[in-house]
Amino acid sequence: MNYLRMPKVGVEPTRGCPQWFLRPPRLPFRHYGAHVGSYYTVRQVRVSIAAVYPSSDIRCCDGAWYNHCVMLKDDLSSPAPRKSRRFLKPIIAGITCLLVAGIWLGRYRGTGWTNAVNPFYWYHRMRGDDLYHADQAVLLHGNRSIPEVVLTFDDGPHPESRAAILDILAKEQIHATFFDVGVNMAAHPDLEQATLAQGSEIANHSQDHAHRLDEINGKERRREINDADITFASITGKHLTLLRPPGMRYNDDVLHETQALGYIVVGYTTASRDFDPNETPAIIAQRTLSRTENGSIILLHDYAATAAALPDIIRGLKSRGLRCVTVSEMLKHLPGEPRISAEQFQKSHAD
């Protein structure tokens, strides 16, 4: 069918065409909702005119349509949409796709809503810029092309959970990274030794975890970081090279200090929220697995509920073909430039 648009009121009709035909308020086919700017098929117009005028006038008026109206398109018999709605469907479809992508990525790939709909995030992700920030020495994500993840445990060591966690790791023959607090190290040096003996690694999580590093001055900040390292060295004879600020709170001043002290700051991609006392081990495991992908850095805590959820987490990771490595191993597996930058930083600050 041909679609025609009603002309503006006042357009002079062609010779022989009745005046009412081009003046919408007087059209006899107004039951079609006739008004200026509406679209109708030629068939609709002809049927309406035929009810009043003879066939000769129909032909004349048909000619007037073609002379004074806009021929739009050939289509089915349904009226064409208005111009103002031409872009409505693509816009709705685009928004729907973004929402679906956000839900899927937020649930299954550890990507939050903000990142999922942020084009700059995808740009940096495709370039690999979101893995390791060389200018600040911050690890944010592992290599997405390698099926591996890191299990990290904060706030320990705690006697009610560390031994159980180490037993599970040993049974599953995997290693993890523990971000321990200095005062807890001093209270339980045997757990520090046991952690290293199991093959896992220990990193810095401040001396007492009582302050956020971005809320204290430079002197107190250095004391918080250095005291934890001194405590660890007094137990093991080694120094710490990885750090996670309490609450993952940092700013440029904090990063300047950590770089000067030779630390790589380690973020996380998957928060299990196992610190909530109301969370069951089953929920902790489900949440962890649903937000994990290749290269994820999983944030757990050295708590009893986490120890109870750990077997299910490890089984779920293995069933998806993901193996567990330490943060140091993940740094070595970064692609190209990020890996080289991390290695150069560590070498420049080696004892």
Confidence category of residue 160, pLDDT binned at 50, 70, 90: very high
Look at phi and psi of residue 318 and say left if phi exceeds 0, alpha if psi is from -120 to 50, else beta.
alpha
- The residue behind tokens 């093959």 is 199
Give the residue with greater pLDDT, 151 vs 4.
151
DSSP strand pairing (297-301 vs 148-154): parallel
Q: Position 104: which residue type?
A: W
Decide if pLDDT at 292 tops 60: yes
Provide the 3-class DSSP secondary structure of residue 153: strand
Domain boundaries, the chain: 2-84, 87-127, 128-348
Q: Are 33 and 84 in contact (CB under 8 A)?
A: no
Render pLDDT for 197-214 as a digit per residue (tens, 0 to 9). 999 999 999 999 988 999
Decide if pLDDT at 296 tops 60: yes
Q: According to the CATH classification, is domain 128-348 in 3.20.20.370?
A: yes
pLDDT for residue 208: 94
Mean pLDDT of the 6-11 span: 42
Percent of the chain with pLDDT over 70: 66
Q: Position 231: which residue type?
A: T
DSSP strand pairing (132-133 vs 138-139): antiparallel
Confidence category of residue 291, pLDDT binned at 50, 70, 90: confident
Render pLDDT for 90-106 as a digit per residue (tens, 0 to 9). 888 888 877 776 665 55
Q: Are 313 and 285 in contact (CB under 8 A)?
A: yes
Decide if pLDDT at 110 tops 90: no
Confidence category of residue 241, pLDDT binned at 50, 70, 90: very high
Give the residue with greater pLDDT, 251 vs 55.
251
Rounded distance, CA 235 to CA 193, Å?
Answer: 8
pLDDT for residue 63: 44
pLDDT for residue 22: 41
Confidence category of residue 158, pLDDT binned at 50, 70, 90: very high
Decide if pLDDT at 185 tops 50: yes
Task: Locate the DSSP E strands across 33-91.
Answer: 39-41, 71-74
If you average pLDDT over every residue of the chain, what do you get?
79
Provide the 3-class DSSP secondary structure of residue 287: helix
Q: For 129-138, 165-174, 258-267, 327-336, which range has the lowest pLDDT when averaged over its residues?
A: 129-138
Decide if pLDDT at 24 tops 60: no
Cis omega (within 30 of 0) for bond into 157: yes
Rounded distance, CA 261 to CA 64, Å?
Answer: 85
Share of the chain residues as helix, strand and coil, in percent rounded to the nearest 5:
50, 15, 35
DSSP string, 15-46: TTS-GGGG-GGG-TTGGG---TT-EEEHHHHH
Q: Indicate the pTM of the whole model.
A: 0.68
Rounded distance, CA 24 to CA 29, Å?
Answer: 9
pLDDT for residue 301: 96
Confidence category of residue 121, pLDDT binned at 50, 70, 90: low
Decide if pLDDT at 222 tops 90: yes
Start-to-end C-alpha separation, the chain: 83
For the chain, the C-alpha Rg in angstroms (whole number) is 34
Count of H helices and E strands in the chain? Answer: 14, 13
Render pLDDT for 297-331 as a digit per residue (tens, 0 to 9). 999 999 999 999 999 999 999 999 999 999 999 99
